[in-house]
Amino acid sequence: MAKQGGGSWLLRLDDLDSRRQQPGMADDIMRTLESFGLLWDGAVARQSQHLEEYEAAFAALQRGGVVYPCSCSRREIAGSASAPHPGDDGPPYAGSCREGMKAPSPVRSWRVRVPEGEICFIDRRRGEYCQLLPTVCGDFVLKRGDGEFAYQLAVVVDDVLAGVNQVVRGDDLLASTPRQIYLQRLLGFPQPEYCHLPLVTGEAGVKLSKRDNLISQQLGSVAGREGELLVAALRFLGQNLPPELAGEPCSHILRWGTDHFQSDSFFASASGKLGV
């Protein structure tokens, strides 16, 4: 979609969470992309190189009076929830520290005040999507007590720094998009176009995770099949490929995809199973 629109396809390494970094991970990601002919444009961006820019955005929000310190632990937030809240984010924050922390308590995080009204946007595949932030997440974290910036703030700044105007990603990130749009509005940043894709799932209907299905660990068994896998991926996206493309190099398959990609077919046909 980026190439067909005459744009660039960018690679950014989200390496802020130092506790989850493992030596060699970044090189592994880039080698895997290269083996499938997925070559990025320009220099590789790394979040760890943009801490000053995150700090500047955070300071701007502080000056705007929408950020406050919070002493609540995850256990306390979970205990205050009146009902189970499935998903990665846990229960919405109830705003216990909105009017001031309970002293003497350490600052565990810095949170941004969310508005009462809906945050809405038009997703290129899903159509209009609206969310009430107070009932979904509440005042969400921008910075941890140890000084590490949260993903929601970092990714908003990253997109502006790189000039991103189109974001194509999985449905699992759809629910976090209104938070990012809210921060864009507070900071006066432009809003990219969003398109959230159906997730690729395994036999049990659970999404394929990079933690459980690391492609690079299977490259020995798929060596020589990269083109076949790309063809399967394009068919998953609803594209009607000529049969002879299956035996072509990855570069030829990707060029065909750029020249002939039909988003209408993709939006209508994409489903959860990737047949390879």
C-alpha 176/C-alpha 205 separation (Å) is 22
> Does pLDDT of 162 surpass 90?
yes
Q: What three-state secondary structure class fits 248?
A: coil
In a domain, 45, yes or no: no
pLDDT of residue 80: 62
Lowest mean pLDDT among 10-14, 172-176, 229-233, 263-267: 263-267
Both 180 and 264 in one domain: the answer is no
The DSSP letter of residue 39 is P
Of 193, 44, 51, the closest CA to residue 122 belongs to 193
* Whole-structure pTM value: 0.87
Domain assignment of residue 176, yes or no: yes
In a domain, 43, yes or no: no
Kindly report the number of other CB atoms within 10 A of residue 32's CB atom.
17
Give bridge partners of residue 129 from the DSSP assignment.
121
Residue 115 domain-assigned?
yes
Q: What is the DSSP-derived secondary structure letter of residue 207?
A: B
**What is the structure's pLDDT at 86?**
46
Q: Quote the pLDDT of residue 209.
A: 62
* Sheet strand arrangement including 109-112: 67-70, 109-112, 140-144
So what's the pLDDT on residue 213? Answer: 53
Are 237 and 257 in contact, with CB atoms under 8 Å apart? no
Residue located via tokens 């996206």? 237
163 and 62 in a common domain: yes
| pLDDT greater at residue 18 or residue 136 | 136
- Does 110 lie in the same domain as 243? no
Range of the domain at 223: 215-269
> What is the H or E stretch that residue 120 is in?
strand 119-123
Asked whether residue 164 is domain-assigned, the answer is yes
Contact call for residues 238 and 267 (beta carbons, < 8 A): yes
**CA dist., res. 17 & res. 46, Å (int):** 12
Half-sphere exposure of 44 (CA within 13 A, CB side): 11
The answer to whether residue 206 scores a pLDDT higher than 60 is yes
